[in-house]
Amino acid sequence: MIEQALANVEAWVALFSQSSLPILRHTRRQLDEMHENIDNVTARELAQVVLQDPIMSVRVLAYIQPMHGKSLQHEITTVAGAIMMSGIDPFFKRFGNLPTIEGELKASAPQALLGVMQVIRRAQRAAEYAYDWAVWRHDINAEEVRLAALLHDLAEILIWCFAPKLALQAMAMRRDNPTMRSSAIQMAILGFPLLDLQLALCHAWHLPELLKNLMDDEHAQSTRARNAILAVRLARHSALHWNDPALPDDYKEIGELLHLTPEAVMQRLGVPANTLPPPAEENL
């Protein structure tokens, strides 16, 4: 495990690219069970399992990208499409017996295991929100938006897995400096903002340009990107409770996206009654 920040973004990209990225133990267990019943498994059923796991999702997408150019003119932008492109049997041959996050961290860094599981759960919630809103907007490919939200914080998840000491330092700094921006904390600990690493990984792994744009906050003017980014923001702000002071602004922006009032957004989200905090002065 890495205990000190590497020299630059390129060094981290090389580390992750040369390593076997761990997946959730639950994902591996489900895939093992499906493999035993391979004759009755469909690509869509496999995709539903993969889409609960950010690292497994990016592994599948990265695996398929070198193949698509040989026979297709368009990029593969969904997990279901990637699995259908690879085939069921080759999929299981490629992704059998993968390491797990729990196996990597449980004994050596139990606090980091708790931390990364919280981030993954946040990513799962963001993906659920993004998909729900994309369907509400009649997006013709809601899975792309869902996937973008799921992978938005992939770089953070990988830092937790490979450099738990640094991730814990960042968590402590955030706790001790609650008004400090996340990008400033990342600069202090890593020497660069995680968005730089995220985009570098997308480039190195040849992920679809569409997904890169949907994950990039700089493209938030696009309706689909706003859908994904607002979902990520809501999942982050509501991770601990529904009283975060940034949430009223989230409800307002989500309402603008979905053409709903903030109150209707809260009702759709199932926000408990009497939890509307005062308007936030600034989103941090």
Task: Chunk the chain into consecutive blocks of 10 residues (it has 284) and report each block's average pLDDT, rounded to whole numbers.
Answer: 92 96 97 94 94 96 72 72 91 92 94 96 97 96 93 96 96 92 94 93 88 76 91 94 93 97 94 65 37
User: Does a structural domain hold residue 61?
Assistant: yes
For residue 254, tell me if it sits in a domain: no
The reported pLDDT for the residue numbered 264 is: 95
| Residue range of the domain that includes 64 | 20-101
Residue 56: per-residue pLDDT: 97
The per-residue pLDDT for 1 is 84
Q: What is the 3-state secondary structure (H, E, C) of 219-262?
A: HCCCHHHHHHHHHHHHHHHCCCCCCCCCHHHHHHHHHHHHCCCH
pLDDT score of 67:
64
Give me the number of domains the chain comprises: 1
Residue 127 lies in a domain: no
Cα separation of 30 and 26, whole Å? 6
Look up the pTM and report it.
0.91
Distance CA 52, CA 28 (A): 11
Asked, for residue 86, whether it belongs to a domain, the answer is: yes
**Would 145 be classed as within a structural domain?**
no
Burial class of residue 25 in the structure, from the number of CB atoms within 10 Å of its CB (0-12 exposed, 13-18 middle, 19+ buried): middle
Report yes or no on 41 lying in a domain. Answer: yes
In a domain, 26, yes or no: yes
pLDDT at 281: 40
Whether residue 218 is contained in a domain is answered as no
